[in-house]
Amino acid sequence: MKIAVFGKKFNKSFYDSCIRLFEVLRSNDVELFIYKPFYEFLLTEVNMKPDVVGFFDGSSGLPAVDQVFSIGGDGTFLEAVSFVRDSGVPIVGINSGRLGFLADVSQNEMECTIQDVLNGKYKVHQLDLLTLQTDNQLFKDNPYALNELSIVKRDSSSMITIHTYINDEFVNSYWADGLIIATSTGSTAYSLSVGGPIIHPDADNFVITPIAPHNLTVRPMVVPNNVEITLKVEGRDTKFLAALDSRSQVFEDSVHLKIKKADFSINVIKLPDYSFFTTLRNKLMWGLDRRN
């Protein structure tokens, strides 16, 4: 089996677990490709030298592998998605810190989970992405997001206005600090932090969530993800910030943004007993109630 390992820097509390992770992979005769900056971090900080057959980075792209292991948090997982893109290679999210929604394999269950994955004892979940289209090719050849597109102002002085259309029909002009278009997967990320609803990742929806809207009657709205959403932004400034997950770029007010569902999905590996609702309870601590 060929596996690509993508990771970022992590705390010392995960050093021993990381060493054990690579020992398990080596004992199962896995051919490893590793993200070059992560390999250098392991050499210099963790004092380990993984046995690998090759490297990849932003310029070389992802090699032909069977699976991708993302080591870090949800942010690291989102970066791994930018390497996988439409290849169909499934991703395993191993969390080096607290429990995540995407990187949901904890240190305690890491070893047995990896063994199950290597033995084929898993399910593959497909997660939808959104894609952004602009006349000036913003984000160039990677205009995709697993979580959300967010449009925000570049200064802290005044609001911006985001004129929003669905399938060319006018919906609303949002006077706010910004606007988030989130996927169902992204409903538990930035959108949730500004008051958006939680949506099951299998639901075929987008969430339109304003950031600090001026009109208190404006609330998040759930729409089907088979529509095309168009945004036209204006304000005192002529430049604004667009972010696709963890990547951001500046754009002019003359640029119109079109958002729709991407024509491919991301495959995520989950164990047979995985439950989204269990993850919700653990991540959001819903069970911490004296009455329970």
Give the residue numbers marked as catalytic: 74
- At which residue do the structure tokens 């706010």 appear? 176
Instruction: Compute the distance between CA of residue 65 and CA of residue 55 in angstroms, rounded to an integer.
Output: 12
Bridge pairing between strands 160-166 and 91-95: unpaired
Q: Which of 84, 185, 186 is nearest to 142 (CA)?
A: 84
In DSSP terms, which residues pair with 260 in a beta bridge? 131
- Written as six digits, the tokens of 227 are 């529509």
Query: Could you give the C-alpha distances from 225 to 174, 182, 202, 259, in angstroms and in order?
Result: 20, 10, 12, 10
H/E segment holding residue 164: strand 160-166
- At which residue do the structure tokens 């199962």 appear? 28
> Do residues 84 and 5 make contact, with C-beta atoms less than 8 angstroms apart?
no
